[in-house]
Amino acid sequence: MQVRKIAGSVRPRPSKENVKYYDLILELGRDPLTGERKRVRFKSNSDSREEAENMLILKKAEYLSGEMLMPDERTVSEFMDEYLIDYVAVQSSPATFRDYKTNIDRYIKPMFGKVKLQELKQARIQQVYNQWRIKSNASDKPLKAESIRHINRILKAALNKACELGYIKYNPTKNVKIGKDLVTKHVDVYTTEEIKLLKKTVKGTDMELPVALLFDCVMRRGELLGLCFDDVDFEKRTVTIQHSWVESEDSKKPVLKDCKTDGSYRKMVVSEETMKLLKRQQLLCKQICLREGKRFTGKQRVVCKQNGDPFLPKSFTAKWIDTLKKYGLRHIKLHGTRHSAISWLLSQGIPLHIVQARAGHQDPKITLSVYSHVAKEDEGVVADLLDAKLFCAVNE
């Protein structure tokens, strides 16, 4: 068996008289095709010749074992561009791509972009994360821990890919500490009375069906706007959620995509009231098709504009805000209706696994962790139950 040999040397830089660092040079023989000498250079940041020679020995050992990382001049910024185009853009939804690009451009590139990818260290990342807790680089305000965790998830995923590609040996985001926010995250929800008031207020308007579906089916915005009449079984009184109408990269032409997880895909029996509204909407859409000279196929969107076209996701959010303002209702985010629906179901004693399935969560821990607050009006239910069923009997 032929033994692989490797030669190497260390050279002082900039000169023997004034040594600031050493260049390590590995001689890897000659290219069999061109005959040119194959050399790899590394830089030792120390001005100690002994440390440089020890580093040279380590590099030789790494090369002979096939574990040596070849020097790469690409910066974090250059790699993040490569990662976005070659992996995120082709493997993720437009909304995910837009989210990744926004966070990379706003936070990751300004703080790490000029650093060489192979020189990005855990200490540097930790320093930046600590700094963000005091003041963001994009504003005068600090970043919340959850925001930093999200940025870290993006950076971690990118650097995992860099490891797979052999650009770096290990992921420097490993074991980085982010901590927790001092203030507990508050999820704004409607109380039972507010839900009743909302339903009563929109009765007879074009928001009656959307509100009914949001609460009955515990829908996300994209699921609501992606629902077609083919997804409704009027005989069995079921609604199947299998598509989502989501923002595109430019926010101008949304994309209808399949549910991103098996848990998101779900079929549920809906209330008679919601089914009655769906039948009325189906008749209305048939009339729209007749007026517009189109054939009703069942592929039409349940929630649509007056001409039958689907809403832009952001346009429907604006419509939600305008509705609350018009009728003087307390403002919560459109996604807050989903929070409200789950909180209400839990407060009514609906078993967790049923609420989880209706919400489309893969893990019940998600349902509990996000919605464990339950409506304030039901906080006294345990005490009332004890008085009525247990203590009252004992006292008698």
Tens-digit pLDDT string for the chain (396 aa):
445 668 888 889 888 888 899 988 888 878 788 888 888 788 888 889 999 889 888 888 877 777 767 778 899 999 999 999 999 998 888 888 989 999 999 999 999 999 999 999 999 999 999 999 999 999 999 999 999 999 999 999 999 999 999 899 889 999 999 988 765 556 788 988 999 999 999 999 999 999 999 999 999 999 999 999 999 999 999 999 999 998 876 666 888 888 767 778 999 999 999 999 999 999 999 999 999 899 999 999 999 999 999 999 999 999 999 999 999 999 999 999 998 999 888 888 888 889 899 988 888 877 776 555 554 555 555 566 566 666 665 555
Q: Are residues 109 and 223 in the same domain?
A: no
Q: Does residue 84 lie within any of the structural domains?
A: yes
Q: Are residues 274 and 355 in the same domain?
A: yes
Q: Does residue 224 lie within any of the structural domains?
A: yes
Q: Does residue 173 lie within any of the structural domains?
A: no
pLDDT at 375: 44
Cβ atoms of 112 and 120 within 8 Å: the answer is yes
Which residue, of 25, 41, 64, is where some domain finishes?
Answer: 64
Q: Please count the structural domains in the chain.
A: 3
Q: Are residues 207 and 301 in the same domain?
A: yes
Tell whether the torsion through CA atoms of 307, 308, 312 and 314 is positive or negative. positive
At 152, is the secondary structure helix, strand, or coil? helix
Residue 345: CATH number of its domain? 1.10.443.10
Alpha-helix runs per DSSP H in 120-165: 122-134, 145-164
Q: Are residues 84 and 204 in the same domain?
A: no
Residue 25: Cβ-neighbour burial (10 angstroms; 0-12, 13-18, 19+): middle
Q: Does residue 181 lie within any of the structural domains?
A: no
Stated as kind and residue range, the H or E segment containing 273 is: helix 272-292
CA distance 126 to 264: 35
Q: Does residue 172 lie within any of the structural domains?
A: no
Q: Are residues 372 and 224 in the same domain?
A: yes
Which residue in 121, 176, 182 sits closest to 153, CA to CA? 176
pLDDT at 346: 86
Query: Using only C-alpha atoms, what is the Rg of the chain?
Result: 30
Q: Are residues 38 and 100 in the same domain?
A: no
Q: Does residue 204 lie within any of the structural domains?
A: yes
Find the domain containing 21 and state its range: 7-64
Which residue in 74, 154, 82, 83 sits closest to 120, CA to CA? 74
Q: Are residues 205 and 310 in the same domain?
A: yes
- Close Cβ partners of 212 (under 8 Å, ≥ 6 residues apart): 199, 271, 273, 274, 277
pLDDT at 389: 60
Backbone φ and ψ of 143, nearest 5°:
-90, 140
Cβ atoms of 80 and 109 within 8 Å: the answer is yes
Q: Are residues 82 and 52 in the same domain?
A: no
Which residue, of 64, 93, 111, is where some domain finishes?
Answer: 64
Which residue, of 42, 64, 86, is where some domain finishes?
Answer: 64
The predicted model scores a pTM of 0.65
At 332, is the secondary structure helix, strand, or coil? coil
Q: Are residues 89 and 60 in the same domain?
A: no
Q: Are residues 225 and 347 in the same domain?
A: yes
CA atoms within 13 Å, Cβ hemisphere of 366 = 12
Helix, strand, coil in percent for the chain, rounding step 5? 50, 15, 40
At 125, is the secondary structure helix, strand, or coil? helix
Q: Are residues 217 and 331 in the same domain?
A: yes
pLDDT at 1: 43
Q: Does residue 385 lie within any of the structural domains?
A: no
Q: Are residues 256 and 111 in the same domain?
A: no
Residue 134: CATH number of its domain? 1.10.150
Q: Does residue 314 lie within any of the structural domains?
A: yes
CA distance 206 to 198: 13
CA distance 177 to 173: 9
